[in-house]
Chains A and B, each alone.
Chain A
Amino acid sequence: MTDHVVEHATCLGCGCACDDITVVVREDRIVEPERACSLGRLWFGTGAVPARVRTEGARDVPLASALDAAATLLRDAARPLVYLSADISCEAQRTAIAVADVLGAMLDSVTSGTAGTGVLAAQRRGRASATLGEVRNRADGVVFWGVDPAIRYPRFASRYAPDPVGLYIPAGRRGRVVMAIDVGTDRAPADADHRVAFTTDEEVTAIELTRAAVIGRGAGGGSDSLAERTRALADGLRGVRYLAIVVDGEPVAGRDPRRAEAMLRLVEALNGPTRCVLVTLRAGGNRSGADAVMTWQTGYPMAVDFLRGAPRYRPEDGAAAQLARGEIDTVLVVGSPLALPDEVRARLGAAGHRIAIGPRASESPYETDVAIDTGIAGIHEAGTATRMDDIPLPLRPALRVPSLCDTAATLRTLAARLVAGRAARRPEVA
């Protein structure tokens, strides 16, 4: 298979998970991911990845010995951490969680260091939302709140909203009112129909005042500029039939952590007077898939501690905090080493041993005891990934590299070794 074309491939360059990509392959290299945006092109690249299996001091070792070494390190660890990074399929995530469970390890994912505040707020408060296709088909009002999707989610506007024609929006962009809320220097799209600006300091109060105005508990005749702006905004929001408020779920520097919950309350309050849904933008690499899979296997979307033999939720004391305290002695990073949040990457050195299984593991920006290169989900590996709104999509890998390990299969072998080892140590009473 040298020259070929894969249609309907799913891009995981961001959480939009565009699944209309035609990937053109020549001489085992991706030459063109048709319809992908610039970010998507970067994500696909040429598909060239290293295919090494390394242990400390040995450049290329058989997979079996690398897995033996990894199993030994993990089994001997007093406090192991399994960390789910980006670019792995839901199938690989499922197996990685099994590894953490068998080990009694701490388990965490990129979510807890990035979008975790929003996840926690939604767990406290609930969340009124919709899938992206519903927004496209129905939203006659779209608010971009402190985010211009063109930057980190380039095809959001053309695939979901506000541009496309929808079932109930036959006129496409012209059939929708677009409201831009600028927050500090975070500008919403330039071509909005209405624009309101808040400072970062004002933001949470502005959300709360807007909510108060929506439910008719506005501050009466308050005529200072914030009260006026939020009253006008509330009128605008109430005036559409089906409103989508789009926020960035990924970290935005300098934002008040109370923002997520305030926004959920506003969206909730807008249901009643009208219909309103929150769209939380998420980055790619199947990050949101990890939330879903961890939830169904453990009950929690991130930061799960198996130490006492069953899952416990430790969202306030996740991987980064435990690494910082030096409690973690061995880390298994599954997925792309480059996608780790700074707070985790910077602290990995505190652990005595590091094992990396994932795309470009052998090129991890930190020292590893064992590194096993695997394929990138969606480029080299099949399976499932989720879009930012939890819609599951199949992955259609364009490249097959025979020398490259498969992430899920590698983890399955590792888990089997760990189980066998455990049984040997703890013989079962007949």
Chain B
Amino acid sequence: MTRLRITGGMVHDPANGIDGTVGDICIENGRIVATLPPDAPRLDARGLVVMPGGIDIHAHVASSSINQARRLLPEDHAGAPIAAPVLAHDDNGEVLIPRSGSGGVVPSTFTTGYRYAGLGYTTVFDAAVAPVSAREAHAQFDDTPIVDGGCYILMGNDALLHRQIAAGERERAREYVAWLLGVTRGYAIKVVNPGGIELWKRNVRAVGSLDDPVGDPRVTPRAIVETLADAATALGLPHPVHIHCNNLGLPGNVALTLDTMRALEGRRAHFTHLQFHAYGGAAGKWSSGARQITDYLATHPEASGDVGQVLFGNACTVTADGAVEYLLHASSGRKWVNVDVEVETGCGVVPYTYRDRAAVSALQWAIGLELFLLSPDPWRLVLSTDHPNGASFLSYPQLIRLLMDRSYRDAQLATVNQKLLAGSALADGIAREYSLNEIAIVTRAGPARLLGLTTKGHLGVGADADITLYAPDADRARMFETPRHVIKGGTLVVEEGQLRRAPAGARHHVRPTYDRAIERTVREFADRYFSVSLENYGA
């Protein structure tokens, strides 16, 4: 299909200031165009809501660490065998083999692609790719159909970077970052628990302050985030540094989160899964720190974030943050995988169940909703569950309903453990309900803008023809669970609610230029401390 006119839908295209206006969208050769000849094929969208395709700014779908989680969960997969879809035969001659898979909280790759598309999502970024395993991450994306993908490259605990910081060579660090992004085909700089993974390798499990030394006194969480934030800006990367702060999941961590935000005041930075970093109080007396975060965001337009919402049910925590997984394993007694990754980073996995009857789970759920509902700007605080950490991406429709439907939300609130909720904003009552346009912002337009994806997240002329059409339904979960049609790059992938086509997605990556002198530094370091030849490193 090279041409299509989508006629008469209610268009929600917040990036272009369009909020539910009835109009046509024209597609030609995978892009949105201004007009088409009158005889172009039509898709009748009367009565349907038309939005750009969804964009997941932070998920774990294609990396060596998510594969560790997949491998650890046979019992979860056993409950969800997924048959191959019945795909339409296209004329382009390419033989696409529809593939079966496993569902559950960490689905297999083909199933992941089909299911994202089935929700109307067309772009997904994997938020934690170890450079030395980047080749595997790309291979997994190759087996994740339909959606465009991209990799955030883990850098905050990189030994060479730490050496550069210790030597006061922050500008040189920038060259290294550029080299690393190029060689791994990465899209953005990811920092996980800056310095804290290196400390975990030394059996230190929490960071006291942003100025804790990590080996060398000049290497601190503060120095690491500053260096990498500046590198992203100096290199002109489309997405700013993507930060998972220190002490994820620990009570009282909101103070350190705010310290990190303040450390980067005036610099562009994206703070991810803020829910997991917004806890006040102390052990046994957790409280919500959501308002402190949203207050900060209100006055700091340079800062952005995603929520990392928790939803009740089974999840699987998987992160480069080995320390937090050790602590979660120790406190929950659930099985635990740890992989310390040479020179660069770590990996931990612990399956986890969030229970509405458990005080901390209920608080986490409430904090995520507070972040959304107190958010000063949906463009800068976007939707994520940190799939599969807070919940599966499959629960986005349920989350959307919680945001759009106060009575549904309040009914659920009344049933959860109240112990830690006293005095929280949510318990006091928040009337806000997200509009369809705000949903379009937190799931499409906002992520696209934060990611610097100029041809995604909107429906203006020149945009990629990634489009989702929903049938309006008072039950917003049902509405967002089953799009009527999904178009990816001009191909009708979901037709009348059925997955019909599964073209390969594209990969987004950057290749910033750098001073070639850095290659010598890397080589000297690699020759001594890498276990793979530099020529074989990367992707």
Contact = CB atoms under 8 A, between A and B. Distances in A.
Interface of A: 7-8, 10, 19-20, 90, 94, 98, 101-102, 122-134, 136-138, 159-160, 165-167, 241-242, 268, 271-272, 274-275, 277, 291-293, 295-301, 306, 308-313, 384, 386, 390-394, 415-416, 419-420, 423, 428
B235 interface: no
Contacts of A138: 201, 340
Overall SS of chain A's interface:
mixed
Given A19-B532, A311-B101, A393-B532, A299 B339 contact: no
Contact of B343 (A102, A133, A419): A133
B67 A102 contact: no
Contacts, number: 198
B101 A298 contact: yes
Overall SS of chain B's interface:
mixed
Contact of A310 (B72, B100, B335, B536): B100
A94 B99 CA distance: 12
Nearest to B106: A299
Contact of A428 (B88, B133, B201, B329): B88
A133 B531 contact: yes
A310 B81 contact: yes
B185 to A, nearest CB: 13
Interface of B: 62, 64, 67, 70-74, 77-78, 81-84, 86, 88-89, 95, 97, 99-102, 104, 106-110, 132-133, 135-136, 139-140, 143, 159, 201-203, 326, 329-330, 335-343, 349-350, 528-533, 535-536
Interface centre among A8, A122, A134, A419 (most CB of B within 10 A): A134
Contact of B70 (A7, A299, A423): A299
Given A295-B71, A311-B102, A128 B338 contact: yes
A313 B78 contact: yes
B107 A134 contact: no
Given A123-B71, A275-B201, A392-B133, A136 B88 contact: no
Given A299-B101, A310-B83, 7 more contacts: A122-B72, A131-B132, A298-B101, A298-B108, A306-B100, A311-B100, A390-B136
A127 B343 contact: no
Nearest to A124: B335
27 contacts: A10-B536, A98-B97, A126-B350, A127-B337, A133-B530, A134-B201, A137-B159, A160-B531, A167-B159, A268-B336, A275-B201, A292-B64, A293-B139, A296-B62, A296-B108, A296-B140, A297-B143, A298-B100, A299-B70, A299-B102, A300-B74, A300-B102, A311-B81, A392-B135, A416-B95, A419-B95, A419-B97
A124 B336 CA distance: 10
Nearest to A412: B95
Contacts of A167: 159, 343, 528-529
Contacts of B101: 297-299, 310-311
A392 B102 contact: no
A393 B95 CA distance: 28
A298 B84 CA distance: 11
A271 B329 CA distance: 11
A384 B62 CA distance: 16
A387 to B, nearest CB: 8
Nearest to B341: A131
Nearest to A396: B536
Closest 3 pairs between A and B when the two form their complex, measured CB to CB: A133-B342, A299-B102, A133-B531
A126 B536 contact: no
Contact of A90 (B133, B139, B350, B529): B139
Nearest to B130: A131
A309 B84 CA distance: 7
Contacts of A125: 335
A303 to B, nearest CB: 10
A295 B350 CA distance: 17
B91 to A, nearest CB: 14
A98 B82 CA distance: 15
Contact of B335 (A101, A126, A275): A126
Interface centre among A10, A165, A297 (most CB of B within 10 A): A297
Contact of A297 (B110, B132, B201): B110
A391 B338 contact: no
Given A126-B337, A130-B340, A166-B529, A299 B84 contact: no
Contact of B77 (A102, A268, A313): A313
B335 A295 contact: no
Contacts of A423: 89
Contacts of A90: 139
A391 B531 contact: yes
A208 B466 CA distance: 57
Nearest to B215: A168
A384 B341 contact: no
A241 B203 CA distance: 8
Contacts of B326: 271
Contacts of B329: 126
